[in-house]
């Protein structure tokens, strides 16, 4: 359904299943489906290599999560470009190396399909999904005292709730 739909804005709702994304491979690997990430919480980072907040705060934050909490959560990046700039393969390769990107990332189909369908407010935009594939949280920004702090709190709640369920 989403593959041919580019302008059905904001298809996500809290507490509802995350709709399938529209992504393309950058590095030749198969593009996963949302279903591939069931069973473990997922944090999606919608970002752009042309976004200073993405490069300076969001990507390092996502890298830290993979390093510190990779056993508790999956992190996936979706590179979007609502300005329609076609980044070349070489730019992605250099960025992966220069920013030590530790999480898999993919290109948004037609530059911004998933960005639009997920109702992103700009870049970076974060979507937190629980282990059952239900959307827990969606927030725009990379301010450590706002968006990233709120993400930390939501993830801790999610990890705590998951741990409670697993211990029953």
CATH number of the domain to which 76 belongs: 3.40.30.10
What are φ and ψ of residue 119, in 5° steps?
65, 35
Task: Give the model's pLDDT for residue 121.
Answer: 87
Task: Give the model's pLDDT for residue 1.
Answer: 38
Domain span including residue 25: 2-29+36-167
C-alpha 75/C-alpha 108 separation (Å) is 16
As given in the structure block, the two tokens for residue 158 are 């999610």
Burial grade of 66 (CB within 10 A; 0-12, 13-18, 19 or more): middle
C-alpha 128/C-alpha 136 separation (Å) is 5
Task: Give the model's pLDDT for residue 2.
Answer: 41
Asked whether 78 and 45 are in contact (CB, 8 A), the reply is yes
The distance in angstroms from the start CA to the end CA of the chain is 38
C-alpha 111/C-alpha 22 separation (Å) is 10
* Low-confidence residues of the chain: pLDDT under 70: 1-9, 162-168
Task: Give the model's pLDDT for residue 103.
Answer: 98
DSSP-derived 3-state class of residue 63? helix
Burial grade of 86 (CB within 10 A; 0-12, 13-18, 19 or more): exposed
Is the previous residue joined to 124 through a cis bond, with omega within 30 degrees of 0?
yes
Task: Give the model's pLDDT for residue 3.
Answer: 46
Domain count along the chain: 1
């Amino acid at each position: 359904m989403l593959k041919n739909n580019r302008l059905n804005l904001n298809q996500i709702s809290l507490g509802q299943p995350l709709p399938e994304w529209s992504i393309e491979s950058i590095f030749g690997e198969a593009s996963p489906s949302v279903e591939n990430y069931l069973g473990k919480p997922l944090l999606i980072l919608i970002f752009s290599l042309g976004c200073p907040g993405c490069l300076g705060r969001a990507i390092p934050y996502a890298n830290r999560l993979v390093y510190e909490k990779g056993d508790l959560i999956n992190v996936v990046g979706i590179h979007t470009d609502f300005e329609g700039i076609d980044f070349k393969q070489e730019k992605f390769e250099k960025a992966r190396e220069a920013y030590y990107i530790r999480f898999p990332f993919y290109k948004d189909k037609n530059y911004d399909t998933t960005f639009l369908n997920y109702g992103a407010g700009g870049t970076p935009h974060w979507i937190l999904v629980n282990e059952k594939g239900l959307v827990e949280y969606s927030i725009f920004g990379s301010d450590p005292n706002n968006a990233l702090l709120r993400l930390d709190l939501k993830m801790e709640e999610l990890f705590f709730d998951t741990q409670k369920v697993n211990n029953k």
